[in-house]
Every structure is written in structure tokens, then in C-alpha cells.
Amino acid sequence: MSKEEKIAAFDASSYATNDNLFGLPFNYADSETIVLPVPWEVTVSYNSGTAQGPEGVKEASLQVDLYDPFLKDAWKKGIYMLEVNHELWEKSNRLRKKAEKYIGSLSDQTDFKDYTLTLEKINKGCRKMVKWVREQSEKLIEDNKRIVLLGGDHSTPLGLIQALADKKGAFGILQIDAHADLRETYEGFEYSHASIMYNALKLENVTKLVQVGIRDYSEGEVGIINQSNGRIKPFFDRDLKQAQYQGENWATQCREIIDELPPKVYLSFDIDGLDPKLCPNTGTSVAGGFETEEVLFLLERLVLSGREIIALDLNEIAPGNDEWDANVGARLLYRLCNIMAASGQ
């Protein structure tokens, strides 16, 4: 069937009749947006479970209603999720066990004779993951697809950001997150989830990093921000809320955030940027944060400003025993895909 025939035969108001992402009837060729799942969580430093995020979100997505008030007939553009790479997932699990032993030895390295060798193996494995993501992303860019990377922990999108910097020219990053992620290394891990933005800023074509909702960060990260000559612009959760308590509204703050961004924007969304009640099982939850509609309001206003979202990631979703986080993540994923699609019009 052609895409037009699939659209004509599909009842968007009915229940899902297949196990595709969101129950949509499309394949890779039909779809404008491709979701790249990366089931990887080797360097998580607190709760694990984010490697299960892609499959958990896909399963939960079958319950998502497809009407989107921001983009008419959004589902017709096509969203398709690539198969989860189980070899990558198994490698993540193996290296995670090594990482747990390594992290446990940090207080007394004499108890772990393979300390240095284990760290080298972990960093090598993470380097290969970044390379794999970059190669997958380059193919998607060549096929003129809009890309959504679905983690996994927040180390996973580096390869995508590298591919975009090589293929798309200059752009800014809008980061929704509880953490600044500006550590050169964390616990010795070169590609830590806590180092993603430090590594992204090594790329010259990443001209601006705008961080929103940050509420858990180190003095060293503040130093990096202060020494960035304006390349990094944080909107700390504390500052946003204290301004609101004094009468400033969110719409005004959104304009201030958007004004800091260049015409092309990459969105990096760590789900722990939300209030922890929405993601209690994420890797490192922090009190505070946003409601989903607050972030989506910001992103819709970003699109209405004329800026283009060139790609995005959504990460740190851990389904948990009750699958609540996956439920939130699936609905968020659908809205993000549609907002990105609207930005290209």
C-alpha cells in the first residue's frame, strides 16, 4: 500500500491494531520522523533502568491518542521507531556490571586490582557506542529524516550531535534538565551521562547552549558557565521560580529563553527536568522541575518564533515496576515529534 492508502485505511480514533510505535501504520520509508532507540546506561551513578526506556516507551505508546491540537493531522506525517539493538543492550548490561564494581571501589582502590583496566574497558565501550550512534544518525540525515534519539541515559546523544555538527552547520542546544552535565569526567568516565554537554561543547558548530530548569550542579560547572563568554546561558530552576514568586510569568520567561537561541536548535530533553512525580524511577531525580505542559508551551513558542528544531533526544526514562515513567515518556515523545515536525513548516 502507498502511504496515502495507509492513511485512508487507518482509523486514528480507534485502538492500536499493530505493535508499531503509537500503533501507526507506517514503515521507515513512509515516515518523516525516525526514532532511534539507544538502550544504554553504563555510567549511571544512581538508579538504573533507563536502558529499558525505549522498549517501555514503545509498549506504552499504544495507549496514546493521536490528536494533537498544535499540529493538524500530525500523525499523517509518519513516525517510525527502528528496532532496538539488543546486542547494544546486552553490551550495556555487561559493562554496567563492571561499572558498578568499579564505582563501588572508588573509596578504596586497593580492594580492586583491576581498577584501571576496568575503567579503560568501560570508556572504550562507551566510545564505540558514540561511534555507532553517529553512524546511524549520519544515515538518517542522508535519508532526509527528522531524528529523535530515545535513550538510555544522557550519554547516548553525543554521536547524533556530532553528526549534526558535521552535516547541518551551526546550531544551538536547548537543554531541559535537572543537571548541568558539564563535568569533564564523572567518576572517571569519559562519556558519562554527567558529561554530555561538556563533550558537545567541544564541537565548534555548537554555538550556544541554553540550559533550562537546572537545579543540581557543582561549583566547577558554575565556573565553566562563567568562563564561557556567554556561550552557555543557564536558566536555573531556583531563579525562574523566584522571579515567578515576584510576579514574572512563564510566557515572559519563555521569550527570554528563546531569545538566547540561534535559528537552528537541537533539543536535548532529560526527563529528570520534570517534576519527579512524573518520572520517579529516572536515574537521578531531583526535587523541583517542570510540569509537562510548561515545557511543551516553551517548545511551541520556540516553533512560533520561526526557529527550527533540527533533531532532538529524550532520555533517562526508566519504566519502573508500574510503567508510569514510560506512560509519561510516550505521551511526551509524541508531542515532541509533532512540535519538531511543525518547526519545519
CA 3 to chain centre: 29
Count the helix, strand and coil residues of the chain and give each as a percent rounded to the nearest 5. Answer: 45, 15, 35
Phi, psi angle pair for 261, to nearest 5°: -100, 145
Give the count of beta carbons closer than 10 Å to the beta carbon of residue 27.
12
The answer for residues whose C-beta is within 8 angstroms of residue 242's C-beta and 6 or more apart is none
C-alpha distances (whole Å) from 1 to each of 7, 21, 215, 252 are 10, 19, 50, 47
CA-CA distance, 316 to 44, in Å (whole number)?
Answer: 9
Sign of CA dihedral 273, 66, 265, 249: negative
For every one of its 345 residues, what pLDDT tens digit does the chain have, with 9 covering 90 and above? 999 999 999 999 998 889 999 999 999 999 999 999 999 999 877 778 999 999 999 999 999 999 999 999 999 999 999 999 999 999 999 999 888 888 777 766 555 567 778 888 989 999 999 999 999 999 999 999 999 999 999 999 999 999 999 999 999 999 999 999 999 877 778 888 899 999 999 999 999 999 999 999 999 999 999 999 999 999 999 999 999 999 999 999 999 999 999 999 999 999 999 999 999 999 889 999 999 999 999 999 999 999 999 999 999 999 988 899 999 999 999 999 999 999 977
Pick from 249, 225, 230, 264: which is nearest to 298 by CA? 249
- Structural domains of the chain, ranges and CATH numbers in brackets: 3-343 (3.40.800.10)
3-state secondary structure of 59: helix
C-alpha cell at 116: 584501571
Is residue 31 exposed (0-12), middle (13-18) or buried (19+ Cβ within 10 Å)? buried
